[in-house]
């Protein structure tokens, strides 16, 4: 038995530095748990001159990442550099050299997961990525291990902290979207270019990783239907609250007729639903299973400390296998289930119409719903004259029927404007 396990770090930004600091701070407990010391032996950084504020000797730093993944004294690589390349090539080289890899890289795994899972399998090494989904929230391991006997039916998550922060500010302080975004950026929650957050790309990558685990499915971020939050207005949020809902950017993956449906979009969710009370930049993942019912995991989805804790949980696990034998649960991705197209998914919907306030309007609007096989659950008329609005919530309907309905409504003379519409995630059906 080795008395130490050699660790190589790819990247030493906020997360990397936290990993190094936490390993040092909890050295005694971790050594006891693993049965050997964990030793960071090499750290690849882009700029050797930068002060890292970590407790590692200068000699471990290198600007040659290939040296790290080929070092025979290193058994475990921690990839916290982010981005597709060179992370992908370095991880594949590490696998080929027989090293286990821990990664926090949602973009890479959400895009090229299958290539990495298969390469790890062929090399008979472990590839763990708890930190890639929802930062400090334990979700990958619980899905793989604690719920191993479960048939997961649906995952509904708030997977992006920046957008949840923005929606919280819009809801609680009636702050406009742009102002809330600027505040999120000031707090360091969002990048200078916020596109990945506000357009749902970040949530889509994480959702595809969760779906691939929960459903043993071979899916990628690009398979996820995606709408961001830029069109959500303060009026939508106010109407939602009046109807008893909160507006959240939801990431939903579900098994429907043997297919995998995945989507990221703003949605109304009942105020009593546990996800409705997830505030600020927190993340949460709601899992619905056949036997277990509802399980939710909640916590900080980003930040150095939380992400480092997830990385270290994976490192301890892999190191225990190196020292004491055994392996982690492999990620199979052998599934052949097809991705269900968005227009075949089902949801409830909210729609806000500006209408001409005259006799027979409701009858004409209702007829359009009926013609498109969308059933009305509740309707509320507000105002009168030029300011009249209809606020409608539907029963569960097929997406393509609802989209056809929107087109039909736009063509009705008595409908002046389809002001907004949003999906409603509810317990109905």
- Complex with a second copy: residue 88 or 141, whichever CB lies closer: 141
What are the contacts of 189-194 at 24+ separation with CB within 8 A?
Answer: 189/161, 189/162, 189/165, 189/281, 189/302, 190/162, 194/162
- Complex with a second copy: residue 324 or 360, whichever CB lies closer: 324
C-alpha distances (whole Å) from 198 to each of 35, 171, 181, 204 are 44, 16, 9, 11
The nearest distance, CB 314 to a second copy, in angstroms, is 9
Q: Which of 284, 263, 288 is nearest to 207 (CA)?
A: 263
The nearest distance, CB 130 to a second copy, in angstroms, is 7
The nearest distance, CB 78 to a second copy, in angstroms, is 12
Residue 249's contacts (CB-CB under 8 Å, 6 or more residues apart) are 158, 160, 163, 164, 167, 200, 203, 228, 229, 264, 265, 266, 267
The nearest distance, CB 405 to a second copy, in angstroms, is 33
C-alpha distances (whole Å) from 155 to each of 77, 162, 261, 286, 425 are 30, 20, 10, 6, 12
- Complex with a second copy: residue 222 or 244, whichever CB lies closer: 244
- Complex with a second copy: residue 13 or 313, whichever CB lies closer: 313
Question: In which region does residue 160 sit, left (phi positive, over 0), alpha (psi from -120 to 50) or beta (all else)?
Answer: beta
User: Contact positions toward a second copy, by CB under 8 A?
Assistant: 18, 22-23, 26, 30, 32-33, 130, 136-138, 141-142, 145-151, 272, 274, 276-279, 282, 284, 289-300, 303, 305-306, 308-310, 312-313, 315-317, 320-321, 324-327, 329, 332
Instruction: Please say whether the beta carbons of 153 and 188 come within 8 A.
Output: no
- Complex with a second copy: residue 300 or 340, whichever CB lies closer: 300
Helices (H), 124-266: 140-141, 161-173, 177-186, 195-198, 201-214, 234-242
Residue 357's contacts (CB-CB under 8 Å, 6 or more residues apart) are 383, 384, 385, 386, 388
Cross-strand pairs, 37? 4
Question: In which region does residue 212 sit, left (phi positive, over 0), alpha (psi from -120 to 50) or beta (all else)?
Answer: alpha
The nearest distance, CB 426 to a second copy, in angstroms, is 15
Active-site residue, from 99, 106, 169, 206: 206
Instruction: Please say whether the beta carbons of 190 and 230 come within 8 A.
Output: no
The nearest distance, CB 113 to a second copy, in angstroms, is 19
- Complex with a second copy: residue 174 or 371, whichever CB lies closer: 174
Work out whether strand 225-226 and strand 259-270 pair parallel, antiparallel, or are unpaired. parallel
C-alpha distances (whole Å) from 238 to each of 59, 209, 275 are 58, 33, 18
- Complex with a second copy: residue 45 or 269, whichever CB lies closer: 269
- Complex with a second copy: residue 283 or 389, whichever CB lies closer: 283
Residue 391's contacts (CB-CB under 8 Å, 6 or more residues apart) are 239, 243, 350, 351, 352, 379, 380, 381, 382
The length of the chain, given as a count of residues: 429
Determine whether 231 is an active site residue: no
Distance CA 116, CA 101 (A): 10
The nearest distance, CB 61 to a second copy, in angstroms, is 22
Other CB atoms within 10 A of residue 35 CB = 15
| Catalytically active residues, by annotation | 206
């Amino acid at each position: 038995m080795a008395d130490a396990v050699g660790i190589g770090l790819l990247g030493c930004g906020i997360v990397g530095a936290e990993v190094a600091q936490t390993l040092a701070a909890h050295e005694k407990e971790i050594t006891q748990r693993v049965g050997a010391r964990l030793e960071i032996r090499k750290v690849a950084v882009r700029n050797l001159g930068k002060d890292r504020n970590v407790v590692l000797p200068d000699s471990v730093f290198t600007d040659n990442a290939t040296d790290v993944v080929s070092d025979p004294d290193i058994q475990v690589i921690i990839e916290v550099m982010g981005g597709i390349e060179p992370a992908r090539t370095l991880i594949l080289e590490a696998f080929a050299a027989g090293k286990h890899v821990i990664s926090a890289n949602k973009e890479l795994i959400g895009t090229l997961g299958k290539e990495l899972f298969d390469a790890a399998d062929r090399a008979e090494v472990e590839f763990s990525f708890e930190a890639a989904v929802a930062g400090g929230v334990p979700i990958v391991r619980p899905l793989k291990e604690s719920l191993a006997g479960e048939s997961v039916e649906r995952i509904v998550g708030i997977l992006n902290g920046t957008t949840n922060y923005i929606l919280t500010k819009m809801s609680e302080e009636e702050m406009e979207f742009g102002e809330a975004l600027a505040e999120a950026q000031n707090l360091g929650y969002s990048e200078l270019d916020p596109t990945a957050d506000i357009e749902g790309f970040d949530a889509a990558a994480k959702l595809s990783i969760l779906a691939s685990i929960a459903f043993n499915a071979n899916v990628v971020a690009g398979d996820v239907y995606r709408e961001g939050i830029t069109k959500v207005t303060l009026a939508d949020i106010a109407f939602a609250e009046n109807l008893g809902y909160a507006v959240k950017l939801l990431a939903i993956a579900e098994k429907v007729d043997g297919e995998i449906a995945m989507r990221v979009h703003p949605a109304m969710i009942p105020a009593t639903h546990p996800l409705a009370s997830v505030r600020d930049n927190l993340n949460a993942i709601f899992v619905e299973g056949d036997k277990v019912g509802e399980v939710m995991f909640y916590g900080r989805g980003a930040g150095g400390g939380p992400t480092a804790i997830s990385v270290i949980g994976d490192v301890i696990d892999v190191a225990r296998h190196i020292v004491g034998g055994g392996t982690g649960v492999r990620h199979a991705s052998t599934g052949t289930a097809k991705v269900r197209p968005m227009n075949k998914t089902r949801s409830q919907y909210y729609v806000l119409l500006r209408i001409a306030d005259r006799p027979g309007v409701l009858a004409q609007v209702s007829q359009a719903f009926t013609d498109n096989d969308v059933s009305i659950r509740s309707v509320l008329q507000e105002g009168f004259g030029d300011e009249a609005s209809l606020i409608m919530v539907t029963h569960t309907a097929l997406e393509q029927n609802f989209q056809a309905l929107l087109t039909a409504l736009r063509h009705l003379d008595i409908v002046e404007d389809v002001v907004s519409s949003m999906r409603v995630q509810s317990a109905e059906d």
